[in-house]
Amino acid sequence: MKRIIYIICAISALAACTSGKEVSWQDKSLPAEVRAADLLSKLSFEEKASLVRYDSPGVERLGIPPYNWWNEALHGVARNGSATVFPQPIGIAASFDVPLTEQVFTVVSDEGRVKNRLARETGVAGWYQGLTFWTPNINIFRDPRWGRGMETYGEDPYLTGQMGMAVVRGLQGDPDAPVLKAHACAKHLAVHSGLEANRHRFNAEVSERDLRETYLPAFKDLVTKAGVNEVMTAYNRFRGVPCTASKYLVQEILRGEWGYKGLVVSDCWAISDFYEPGRHDYSATAAAAAAAAVANGVDVECGSSFHAIPEAYEQGLLKEEDLDRNLLRALTARFRLGEIDGESPWDSLDESIIESPEHLQLSLEMARESIVLLKNDGVLPLEPGTCFALLGPNADDAEMQWGNYNPVPKSTVTLLQALKAINPELLYDPACALAEGLPGQPELNEKALLAKLEGIETIVFAGGISPRIEGEEMPVTIPGFSGGDRTDIELPAVQRRLLQSLKEAGKKVILVNFSGGAIGLEPEQESCSAILQAWYPGQEGGTAITDVLFGKVNPSGKLPVTFYKNVGQLPDVEDYNVEGHTYRYFRGEPLYPFGYGLSYTAFEYGEPKIKGKKLEVPLTNNGKIDGDEVVQLYVRRTDDPEGPVKTLRGFQRVSVPAGGTVKVSFRLTPETFLWWDGADMTPLSGEYELMVGSSSADSRLQTLRYKF
């Protein structure tokens, strides 16, 4: 028995001695680590090798059940029948609502536990039925052309960390409970933000400052503060080494500096990228690749390369003690989840909670908070009885609203359905294709359409794009889109032409834009009277948008990404240097800045003041309706011209009644002044500017000097 096993077995023996019990992995009263060590000592090498695969086959002779580690819960329990569909994460990020996000993922883990119990009752919990959810995606949405950016919480490290930690708390539950509710998984470590087309061969080269200041902070938050139980490595190389084999990322930073004790899992078939032709060219064979990953502390592989572990061992490429070390962590996790024992405190949850009225109401609440009002010339909110028509290719598309990595719900309220419920006689026409080159799309006939709209002054146009044409590795090649990514950020040309024609015909156009990221809406600033950013809003999205259109809900979402004017404002999409990317290092003038979002009421910020270790600012609602505002705190170091223009270090979502004033307070802690010191991010003494207001735009911020 190798040294690590000796140590743990010694601890086990001591525990057994003091309790008067013989050590046995079947003894449920023993700690998970003790049980795992005993079970490990009873396994053959081949059995050990099989148990570090994502589709672990189990050990029949010992009564160990099979387990499939692969499950998804990006914004609802995915790929396993019906479940509540919440807005896509980029929309959740737009809420800037940490407590509500935690509630959402508490519901997700409740539904996940029910689905796991139902699967166990019918036999074995298989693919997409386990308790280990490979979410959240906390990569930085560095460039709007990246197709998977919609899975993230935006472009800011602080916001991403705050929202990501809420996801972890909601999914995993009480970290000190005897049985853990589920696993969350922070992915993808590291420096991974597209493109989809080259992720299996791309080498990300970034400065140490960019790594520590932008790409790693959210991972550090989830590991050191939220106690995430899994971390997934990325497909790409980092400084010439595949991330899954990177000793610097996995051993030195993750496990060394941050003290991470949880599981490391590979992205799916990322290890095969080590040796498959035309990819990383890092290993000669599957056996060599498997050995490199095991040695680097990868505990579970999603893929098939770990089938070569026995071959690697026979060739002397792999040490059994490395495999034992990794498997011990995996077995401990299974005992902690109650998975091997097949029982949990959540077994009493009834199947009726899945898509229950309470869960649908929570999805609706999050969808309402996610909607961002980008422009309003006074046309919104619509008055009851307003005569309007509904146009656009996204008006009645339920699947678009689900986003990606989604459940398939029993019901979805599209925008058409929600508006029809108000006005059964509503004139609706899809009007045009979503984008040029897509089969089965309606052709635009402007003359006929305008004739149909005669006498109707107001148009709600449901446009934008769709997960059908942006997302993870997609076989899509049409103008503006390639392989799941975008090559341009403007609206598809056919939609843009139609919006301009409606404007020229004297119509007041309300654009409801559905997309997973920023769209270059510069011409639409002229052709549209109002613009709502709806993201991919989940199964209750149609109701949420309708509530905002008619003023039942006052919009309160804020942009978690910069909306650039056009693609010409962006650096090369393969340039991972942060300079020029995101509001923190973009030195131009965007169309809509990070943190931006309008309201139907008028908020006024009073004079901010520093009192001791607090920054306080009064916020008044000068309008006639109640509203929610997201108050944002940014920091800039005055003697660092190469640093970020400003960086978010606090936000609070507050409700202010009409005519009322609330005092918003931010605690100034050492973490408020985390800054690059030449080697790492640390609380750095010196002169700072503290900026507080309603968005990242200088014109919306009030500034104070502060010496830390």
**pLDDT greater than 80 at residue 66:** yes
Whether 450 and 368 share a structural domain? yes
pLDDT for the residue numbered 225: 98
Is 590 inside a domain boundary? no
Give the separation between CA 277 and CA 62, rounded to whole angstroms.
40
Question: For the segment 617-627, what is each residue's pLDDT rounded down to a tens digit?
Answer: 999 999 999 99
**pLDDT greater than 70 at residue 550:** yes
CATH number at residue 128: 3.20.20.300
pLDDT for the residue numbered 124: 77
Q: Region 471-476: what's the mean pLDDT?
A: 95
Whether 273 and 392 share a structural domain? no
CATH number at residue 660: 2.60.40.10
**pLDDT greater than 80 at residue 1:** no
Is 28 inside a domain boundary? yes
Is 596 inside a domain boundary? no
**pLDDT greater than 70 at residue 17:** no
Question: For the segment 111-126, what is each residue's pLDDT rounded down to a tens digit?
Answer: 999 999 999 999 877 9
Whether 574 and 614 share a structural domain? no
Whether 579 and 460 share a structural domain? yes
Give the separation between CA 541 and CA 547, rounded to whole angstroms.
10
Whether 339 and 465 share a structural domain? no
Is 631 inside a domain boundary? yes
Token pair of 424 as six digits: 């059964």
Q: Region 127-136: what's the mean pLDDT?
A: 97
pLDDT for the residue numbered 6: 35
Name residues whose C-beta falls within 8 Å of residue 167's C-beta, 6 or more positions apart in sequence: 101, 102, 105, 135, 136, 184
Q: How confident is the model at residue 10 (pLDDT cuts 50, 70, 90)?
A: very low
Whether 338 and 387 share a structural domain? no
Domain end residue (candidates: 327, 351, 375): 351
Question: For the segment 180-195, what is each residue's pLDDT rounded down to a tens digit?
Answer: 999 999 999 999 998 9
Q: Using an 8 Å Cβ cutoff, are 217 and 163 in contact?
A: no
Q: How confident is the model at residue 615 (pLDDT cuts 50, 70, 90)?
A: very high
Q: Region 244-260: what's the mean pLDDT?
A: 98
Q: What percent of the chain has pLDDT over 70?
A: 97
Whether 347 and 367 share a structural domain? no
Whether 237 and 368 share a structural domain? no
Is 44 inside a domain boundary? yes
pLDDT for the residue numbered 317: 98
DSSP assignment string, 556-625: ----SS-B-SSGGGS--TT----TTSHHHH--S--SB-TT--B-SS-EEE---EEETTEEEEEEEE-SSS
Q: Region 611-617: what's the mean pLDDT?
A: 96
Q: Which residues are catalytic?
A: 267, 470
Q: Using an 8 Å Cβ cutoff, are 466 and 434 in contact?
A: yes
Q: How confident is the model at residue 577 (pLDDT cuts 50, 70, 90)?
A: very high
**pLDDT greater than 90 at residue 595:** yes
Whether 398 and 488 share a structural domain? yes
Domain end residue (candidates: 585, 615, 642): 585
**pLDDT greater than 70 at residue 16:** no
Q: Region 230-257: what's the mean pLDDT?
A: 98
**pLDDT greater than 50 at residue 5:** no
CATH number at residue 461: 3.40.50.1700
Q: How confident is the model at residue 517 (pLDDT cuts 50, 70, 90)?
A: very high
Whether 460 and 555 share a structural domain? yes
Is 395 inside a domain boundary? yes
Least confident of 15-24, 62-71, 446-455, 659-668: 15-24
pLDDT for the residue numbered 9: 44
pLDDT for the residue numbered 583: 98
Q: Region 500-521: what's the mean pLDDT?
A: 98
State pTM to two decimals: 0.96
Question: For the chain, what is the domain count?
Answer: 3
Q: What percent of the chain has pLDDT over 90?
A: 95
Structural domain for 26, as ranges: 3-351
Mean pLDDT of the chain: 95
Whether 571 and 660 share a structural domain? no
- Residue identified by tokens 């045009």 is 432
pLDDT for the residue numbered 20: 52
pLDDT for the residue numbered 23: 84
Q: Region 252-268: what's the mean pLDDT?
A: 98
Whether 557 and 608 share a structural domain? no
Is 116 inside a domain boundary? yes
Domain end residue (candidates: 556, 585, 614): 585
Is 598 inside a domain boundary? no
The contacts found for 125-128 with CB under 8 angstroms, 24 or more apart, are: 125/67, 125/68, 125/339, 126/66, 126/68, 127/55, 127/68, 127/70, 128/68, 128/70, 128/71, 128/72, 128/78, 128/79, 128/80
